[in-house]
Protein backbone atom coordinates (compact mmCIF):
# COMPACT_ATOMS: atom_id res chain seq x y z
CA UNK A 1 0.00 0.00 0.00
CA UNK A 2 1.29 3.43 -0.90
CA UNK A 3 0.95 6.25 1.61
CA UNK A 4 -1.85 8.73 1.02
CA UNK A 5 -0.83 11.71 -1.14
CA UNK A 6 -0.18 14.91 0.76
CA UNK A 7 0.05 18.52 -0.35
CA UNK A 8 3.16 19.45 1.60
CA UNK A 9 5.02 22.77 1.70
CA UNK A 10 7.43 21.65 4.41
CA UNK A 11 10.60 23.72 4.37
CA UNK A 12 9.10 26.45 2.20
CA UNK A 13 8.60 30.13 3.05
CA UNK A 14 5.59 31.98 1.66
CA UNK A 15 4.35 35.57 1.52
CA UNK A 16 0.60 36.00 1.15
CA UNK A 17 -0.80 39.50 0.68
CA UNK A 18 -4.16 40.49 2.14
CA UNK A 19 -3.90 37.62 4.59
CA UNK A 20 -5.87 38.79 7.60
CA UNK A 21 -9.33 37.78 6.34
CA UNK A 22 -11.29 36.25 3.49
CA UNK A 23 -9.43 34.25 0.85
CA UNK A 24 -6.12 35.43 2.23
CA UNK A 25 -6.72 34.16 5.76
CA UNK A 26 -7.95 30.81 4.43
CA UNK A 27 -4.79 30.53 2.34
CA UNK A 28 -2.56 31.41 5.30
CA UNK A 29 -4.23 28.65 7.36
CA UNK A 30 -3.89 26.09 4.60
CA UNK A 31 -0.25 26.92 3.92
CA UNK A 32 0.58 26.59 7.62
CA UNK A 33 -1.26 23.26 7.77
CA UNK A 34 0.88 22.16 4.82
CA UNK A 35 4.05 22.98 6.76
CA UNK A 36 5.13 26.32 5.30
CA UNK A 37 6.38 29.30 7.26
CA UNK A 38 4.15 32.19 6.26
CA UNK A 39 4.34 35.95 6.31
CA UNK A 40 1.16 37.79 5.45
CA UNK A 41 0.28 41.42 4.97
CA UNK A 42 -2.64 43.34 6.33
CA UNK A 43 -3.61 46.99 6.24
CA UNK A 44 -5.99 47.81 9.07
CA UNK A 45 -7.39 44.57 10.55
CA UNK A 46 -4.81 44.44 13.33
CA UNK A 47 -6.82 42.36 15.78
CA UNK A 48 -7.68 39.76 13.15
CA UNK A 49 -4.09 39.60 11.94
CA UNK A 50 -2.67 39.11 15.42
CA UNK A 51 -5.27 36.48 16.28
CA UNK A 52 -4.48 34.56 13.10
CA UNK A 53 -0.76 34.64 13.85
CA UNK A 54 -1.31 33.40 17.39
CA UNK A 55 -3.64 30.64 16.18
CA UNK A 56 -1.05 29.38 13.69
CA UNK A 57 2.10 29.30 15.80
CA UNK A 58 3.17 32.88 16.42
CA UNK A 59 5.37 35.24 14.43
CA UNK A 60 8.29 32.85 13.88
CA UNK A 61 5.96 30.60 11.89
CA UNK A 62 3.15 32.96 10.88
CA UNK A 63 4.28 36.57 10.69
CA UNK A 64 1.77 39.43 10.26
CA UNK A 65 3.19 42.53 8.56
CA UNK A 66 1.19 45.75 8.45
CA UNK A 67 1.77 47.27 5.02
CA UNK A 68 -0.28 49.38 2.65
CA UNK A 69 -0.06 48.17 -0.93
CA UNK A 70 -0.64 50.94 -3.46
CA UNK A 71 2.73 51.51 -5.12
CA UNK A 72 5.58 49.38 -6.49
CA UNK A 73 7.67 50.59 -3.56
CA UNK A 74 5.09 49.24 -1.10
CA UNK A 75 5.43 45.80 -2.66
CA UNK A 76 9.21 45.96 -2.57
CA UNK A 77 9.12 46.98 1.09
CA UNK A 78 6.89 44.04 2.00
CA UNK A 79 9.14 41.50 0.30
CA UNK A 80 12.18 42.98 2.01
CA UNK A 81 10.48 42.80 5.41
CA UNK A 82 9.54 39.17 4.83
CA UNK A 83 13.07 38.15 3.87
CA UNK A 84 14.58 40.11 6.76
CA UNK A 85 12.35 38.28 9.24
CA UNK A 86 12.19 34.78 7.76
CA UNK A 87 15.43 34.60 5.80
CA UNK A 88 14.14 33.45 2.42
CA UNK A 89 11.16 33.50 0.07
CA UNK A 90 9.96 30.54 -2.00
CA UNK A 91 6.30 31.39 -2.68
CA UNK A 92 4.48 34.65 -3.39
CA UNK A 93 0.68 34.78 -3.41
CA UNK A 94 -0.64 38.15 -4.59
CA UNK A 95 -4.12 38.08 -3.11
CA UNK A 96 -4.83 41.63 -1.93
CA UNK A 97 -7.08 43.93 -3.91
CA UNK A 98 -9.92 46.39 -3.91
CA UNK A 99 -13.33 46.13 -5.58
CA UNK A 100 -15.33 49.37 -5.37
CA UNK A 101 -18.75 47.90 -4.69
CA UNK A 102 -20.84 50.74 -6.08
CA UNK A 103 -21.80 50.70 -9.75
CA UNK A 104 -19.90 53.44 -11.59
CA UNK A 105 -20.55 54.12 -15.29
CA UNK A 106 -17.38 54.71 -17.25
CA UNK A 107 -18.73 58.09 -18.43
CA UNK A 108 -18.71 59.41 -14.87
CA UNK A 109 -15.92 57.37 -13.27
CA UNK A 110 -13.42 59.72 -11.66
CA UNK A 111 -9.77 59.50 -12.55
CA UNK A 112 -9.13 59.21 -8.81
CA UNK A 113 -11.16 55.99 -8.60
CA UNK A 114 -9.50 54.57 -11.72
CA UNK A 115 -6.03 55.42 -10.48
CA UNK A 116 -6.67 54.11 -6.96
CA UNK A 117 -7.98 50.74 -8.15
CA UNK A 118 -5.08 50.19 -10.54
CA UNK A 119 -2.55 51.35 -7.97
CA UNK A 120 -3.70 48.82 -5.39
CA UNK A 121 -4.51 45.92 -7.69
CA UNK A 122 -1.71 46.27 -10.23
CA UNK A 123 1.06 48.73 -9.36
CA UNK A 124 1.82 47.09 -6.02
CA UNK A 125 1.68 43.66 -7.69
CA UNK A 126 4.52 44.77 -9.97
CA UNK A 127 6.68 45.71 -6.97
CA UNK A 128 5.88 42.46 -5.19
CA UNK A 129 6.66 40.29 -8.20
CA UNK A 130 9.79 42.18 -9.15
CA UNK A 131 11.31 41.91 -5.69
CA UNK A 132 10.15 38.33 -5.11
CA UNK A 133 11.68 37.14 -8.39
CA UNK A 134 14.97 38.85 -7.59
CA UNK A 135 15.00 37.18 -4.17
CA UNK A 136 14.14 33.73 -5.57
CA UNK A 137 16.86 34.02 -8.20
CA UNK A 138 19.43 35.00 -5.57
CA UNK A 139 18.78 31.95 -3.41
CA UNK A 140 20.76 28.72 -3.88
CA UNK A 141 19.07 26.34 -6.29
CA UNK A 142 17.72 23.13 -4.79
CA UNK A 143 16.30 19.93 -6.21
CA UNK A 144 12.81 21.37 -6.58
CA UNK A 145 11.40 24.54 -8.14
CA UNK A 146 13.23 27.77 -7.42
CA UNK A 147 9.93 29.46 -6.59
CA UNK A 148 6.20 29.82 -7.15
CA UNK A 149 4.11 32.91 -7.84
CA UNK A 150 0.31 32.79 -7.76
CA UNK A 151 -1.65 35.87 -8.76
CA UNK A 152 -5.30 36.04 -7.69
CA UNK A 153 -7.45 37.61 -10.42
CA UNK A 154 -11.20 37.31 -11.08
CA UNK A 155 -13.78 36.17 -13.60
CA UNK A 156 -14.19 39.89 -14.30
CA UNK A 157 -10.71 39.78 -15.83
CA UNK A 158 -11.94 37.43 -18.55
CA UNK A 159 -15.44 38.56 -19.39
CA UNK A 160 -15.43 42.14 -18.10
CA UNK A 161 -17.80 43.65 -15.58
CA UNK A 162 -20.19 46.43 -16.46
CA UNK A 163 -19.89 49.50 -14.22
CA UNK A 164 -16.64 48.12 -12.75
CA UNK A 165 -14.24 48.79 -15.62
CA UNK A 166 -11.44 49.81 -13.26
CA UNK A 167 -11.56 46.50 -11.40
CA UNK A 168 -11.89 44.37 -14.53
CA UNK A 169 -9.00 46.17 -16.22
CA UNK A 170 -6.72 45.77 -13.21
CA UNK A 171 -7.46 42.06 -12.87
CA UNK A 172 -7.24 41.52 -16.63
CA UNK A 173 -3.70 42.85 -16.48
CA UNK A 174 -2.84 40.10 -13.99
CA UNK A 175 -3.79 37.47 -16.58
CA UNK A 176 -1.32 38.92 -19.06
CA UNK A 177 1.27 39.31 -16.32
CA UNK A 178 0.89 35.62 -15.45
CA UNK A 179 1.55 34.55 -19.04
CA UNK A 180 4.46 36.94 -19.46
CA UNK A 181 6.11 35.82 -16.24
CA UNK A 182 5.72 32.16 -17.14
CA UNK A 183 7.28 32.71 -20.56
CA UNK A 184 10.18 34.52 -18.95
CA UNK A 185 10.74 32.51 -15.78
CA UNK A 186 9.59 28.91 -16.20
CA UNK A 187 12.91 27.81 -17.67
CA UNK A 188 14.66 29.16 -14.57
CA UNK A 189 12.48 27.10 -12.22
CA UNK A 190 10.08 29.85 -11.15
CA UNK A 191 6.49 28.88 -11.81
CA UNK A 192 3.81 31.54 -12.25
CA UNK A 193 0.10 30.77 -12.38
CA UNK A 194 -3.16 32.59 -11.71
CA UNK A 195 -6.29 31.64 -9.78
CA UNK A 196 -9.40 33.45 -11.02
CA UNK A 197 -12.31 33.20 -8.55
CA UNK A 198 -15.90 34.09 -9.24
CA UNK A 199 -18.24 35.15 -6.44
CA UNK A 200 -16.82 34.18 -3.05
CA UNK A 201 -18.52 34.62 0.32
CA UNK A 202 -16.21 37.13 2.05
CA UNK A 203 -16.51 40.34 4.01
CA UNK A 204 -15.81 42.30 0.82
CA UNK A 205 -18.71 40.69 -1.06
CA UNK A 206 -21.12 40.40 1.86
CA UNK A 207 -23.12 43.57 1.17
CA UNK A 208 -23.70 42.55 -2.44
CA UNK A 209 -24.50 38.91 -1.73
CA UNK A 210 -26.85 39.92 1.09
CA UNK A 211 -28.90 42.07 -1.29
CA UNK A 212 -31.71 39.71 -2.42
CA UNK A 213 -32.14 41.24 -5.89
CA UNK A 214 -28.45 41.47 -6.75
CA UNK A 215 -27.65 38.11 -5.18
CA UNK A 216 -30.37 36.32 -7.11
CA UNK A 217 -29.08 37.73 -10.38
CA UNK A 218 -25.45 36.93 -9.57
CA UNK A 219 -26.11 33.37 -8.43
CA UNK A 220 -28.29 32.66 -11.45
CA UNK A 221 -25.14 32.94 -13.58
CA UNK A 222 -23.32 30.28 -11.55
CA UNK A 223 -24.20 26.71 -12.60
CA UNK A 224 -23.43 25.46 -9.09
CA UNK A 225 -25.92 28.00 -7.77
CA UNK A 226 -23.89 29.43 -4.91
CA UNK A 227 -20.80 31.51 -4.13
CA UNK A 228 -17.55 29.76 -3.28
CA UNK A 229 -16.34 29.18 0.25
CA UNK A 230 -12.92 30.74 0.87
CA UNK A 231 -11.36 27.29 1.34
CA UNK A 232 -12.42 26.41 -2.20
CA UNK A 233 -10.13 29.18 -3.46
CA UNK A 234 -7.30 28.57 -1.01
CA UNK A 235 -7.14 24.90 -2.01
CA UNK A 236 -6.26 25.54 -5.67
CA UNK A 237 -3.71 28.17 -4.62
CA UNK A 238 -2.02 25.60 -2.40
CA UNK A 239 -2.12 22.93 -5.12
CA UNK A 240 -0.34 25.18 -7.60
CA UNK A 241 2.60 25.52 -5.19
CA UNK A 242 3.12 21.77 -4.69
CA UNK A 243 4.94 19.12 -6.75
CA UNK A 244 1.58 17.85 -8.01
CA UNK A 245 1.44 21.01 -10.15
CA UNK A 246 4.99 20.50 -11.37
CA UNK A 247 4.04 20.70 -15.06
CA UNK A 248 1.69 23.67 -14.80
CA UNK A 249 2.97 27.15 -15.63
CA UNK A 250 1.30 30.20 -17.13
CA UNK A 251 -2.21 28.88 -16.54
CA UNK A 252 -5.38 30.71 -15.53
CA UNK A 253 -7.07 28.39 -13.03
CA UNK A 254 -10.79 29.22 -13.11
CA UNK A 255 -12.52 28.59 -9.79
CA UNK A 256 -16.00 29.95 -10.37
CA UNK A 257 -18.56 27.15 -10.33
CA UNK A 258 -18.70 27.19 -14.14
CA UNK A 259 -19.75 30.82 -14.35
CA UNK A 260 -17.34 31.96 -17.07
CA UNK A 261 -18.84 29.46 -19.49
CA UNK A 262 -22.40 30.77 -19.18
CA UNK A 263 -22.09 34.40 -18.09
Sorted by where each begins, the domain ranges of the chain are 13-201+229-258
Q: Is the pLDDT of residue 91 over 90?
A: yes
DSSP E strands in the chain: the ranges are 13-16, 37-42, 62-66, 91-94, 147-152, 190-197, 252-255
Element (H, E) at 192: strand 190-197
CA distance 126 to 152: 13
Q: Which of 20, 124, 167, 249 is catalytic?
A: 167
Residue 138 a catalytic site member: no
Residue 167 a catalytic site member: yes
For 234, the 3-state DSSP assignment is helix
Q: Which of 154, 170, 182, 249 is catalytic?
A: 154
Task: Give the per-residue pLDDT at 182.
Answer: 98
Q: Which residues contact 143 (CB under 8 A, 6 or more apart)?
A: none
Task: Give the per-residue pLDDT at 262.
Answer: 67
Element (H, E) at 159: helix 156-159
Q: What letter would DSSP give residue 228?
A: B
Q: What letter would DSSP give residue 195?
A: E
Residue 211 CB coordination number (10 Å): 12
pTM surpassing 0.75?
A: yes
Residue 171 a catalytic site member: yes
Task: Give the per-residue pLDDT at 133.
Answer: 98
CATH for 13-201+229-258 is 3.40.50.720
* Mean pLDDT for all residues in the chain: 93
- Band of pLDDT at residue 220, cut at 50, 70 and 90: confident
Q: Is the pLDDT of residue 204 over 90?
A: no
Q: Is the pLDDT of residue 2 over 70?
A: no
Q: Which of 42, 171, 182, 191 is catalytic?
A: 171
- Band of pLDDT at residue 211, cut at 50, 70 and 90: confident
pLDDT tens-digit series, residues 13-66: 999 999 999 999 999 999 999 999 999 999 999 999 999 999 999 999 999 999
Amino acid sequence: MHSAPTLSLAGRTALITGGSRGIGAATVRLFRQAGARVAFSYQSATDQAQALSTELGGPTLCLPIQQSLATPQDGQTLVAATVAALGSLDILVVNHGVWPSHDQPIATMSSAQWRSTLAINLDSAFGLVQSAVAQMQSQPANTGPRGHIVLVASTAAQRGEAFHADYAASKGALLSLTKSLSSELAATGIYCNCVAPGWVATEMSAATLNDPEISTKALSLIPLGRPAHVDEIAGPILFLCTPYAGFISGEIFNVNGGAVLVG
